[in-house]
Amino acid sequence: MNTRPMSNPFSDRRPWQWLAVLVFLGVLIWLLGPVLTPFVISALLAWLGGPLVRKIESTGRSRTAAVLLVFTLMSLGLILGVLLLIPLIESQVSKFIDWLPRFGQWLTGTAVPWAEDRFKIDLAGYVDPSQLIELFKQHWKQAGGIAASMMGEISKSGMALVNLLVNLALIPVVTFFFMRDGPEMMARARELLPRPIEPTVVKLAHESDQMLGGFIRGQLTVMIALGVIYGVGLTAVGVDLGILIGLVAGLVAFVPYLGAIVGLGAAVIATLVQHGDLLHLALVLGVFGLGQLLESFWLTPWLVGDKIGLHPVAVIFAVMAGGQLFGFLGVLLALPIAAVAVVLGRYVYAQYTQSELYGADDESGVIVAGRDPVGGTSVPNETGTEVPPSKEP
């Protein structure tokens, strides 16, 4: 068995060579962004389905049969989700627009007088719900107009329409081949790595995959589960906008407690406007209390655990920075790149703390005031005179 230690790729000129490679790849991604988008989507879908493929393959079925089964399940799930969600979201948004005048009446007739009487301040002159509602409707129409104009431009431009259709058709085809031939592609890529750094790169790639898998697979499942719990629960207790509120709360649930705060605030307002009684308010609080209990004691420990390794603030920054730099492609690549960056940062930190620059091999940097940092026994100082151990606890 070869016990040769891993080569340190940071010990010579190779860091600058790797930096040049990374810069070249970044520029290439930026230039080829529109072309790479369907391939990145396909790679992410294949990566998400990879564990299930391997589990089915371990039962004795062939790789192709396992991929066909998982690919079919993913396709049916996606189609079913689109067919169910689009009409549901459209219905909820229509209800929300019709609900806005009721919100304005509740705001001026109930909320503002209560706040003025409670806190002895004048708010009526500063709150004009009609302007808020009109502003929202204008932005909503503007967003719809932008989408309609974009689709109109695409339909007018034959080449743009062809590119869109080709990209949509490419995603399932490329996803299937990535799922089927992924291990062979990775093996060939591994063979191309320089031999001295191949063990280190493989180790870091494995850690990145584990971290990213723990975040995306686990947190995505938690988000879907919370969205279903909140949406079904709020609808069951009589909140007309329960599905929409649950969907929004589930989408922002990747930041701890943000989904519950946003969803609870919206649900309380919707309940007060629609019902205005303590019974329905208590039922709404019960729904979110149950959701938080399930998330804290079952969903997150079971599905995510301590595998995330990415702080929620880092996730938000990565997604926003990726979108700013590379558009939609950057949003897709944000989390994988963030996971790799965290793993590389840990590796660089470990190498630094073991380097001569840090002073890991310098005893004078470890021993302070004649005290052995491990056992507390007396050690010689710089002049060779033995110094007794410190009496401090």
Q: Looking at residues 126-154, what average pLDDT do you find?
A: 57
Residue 214 structure tokens? 């723990």
**Distance between CA atoms of residues 158 and 19, nearest Å:** 41
For the question of whether the overall pTM of this predicted structure is more than 0.85, the answer is no
Amino acid identity, position 277 = D
Categorize the per-residue pLDDT at 124 as very low, low, confident or very high, splitting at 50, 70 and 90: low
Give the C-alpha separation, 77 to 73, whole Å.
Answer: 6
Q: Does position 230 have pLDDT exceeding 90, yes or no?
A: yes
Sign of the torsion angle spanned by Cα atoms 178, 180, 181, 182: positive
Q: What is the mean pLDDT of the chain?
A: 77
Residue 120 CA to residue 144 CA, distance in Å, equals 42
Q: Which residue has the tokens 């840090």?
A: 358
Give residue 251's Cα distance to chain centre: 10
pLDDT tens column, 163-207: 777 778 888 999 999 999 988 888 888 888 878 878 888 888 888
What number of H helices and E strands is found in the chain?
12, 2
Q: CA 237 from chain center: how many Å? A: 30
Q: Which range (16-20, 50-54, 140-144, 289-293) has the least confidence?
A: 140-144
CA 335 from centroid of its chain's CA atoms? 6
What does the alpha-carbon distance between residue 211 and residue 204 come to, in Å, rounded to a whole number?
11
Is residue 356 helix, strand or coil? coil
Whole-Å CA distances, 375 to 142, 293, 322, 380, 381: 70, 45, 49, 14, 16
pLDDT at 159: 62
pLDDT of residue 155: 52
Encoding tokens for residue 51?
A: 């564990």
Q: Quick one: pLDDT at residue 368?
A: 43
Cα distances (angstroms) measured from residue 74 to each of 124, 207, 358: 53, 26, 50
pLDDT at 132: 64
Report whether 348 contacts 10 (CB < 8 A): yes
pLDDT on residue 234: 94
Quote the percentage of the chain above a pLDDT of 70: 75
The region of weakest confidence among 4-13, 98-107, 162-171, 183-192 is: 4-13
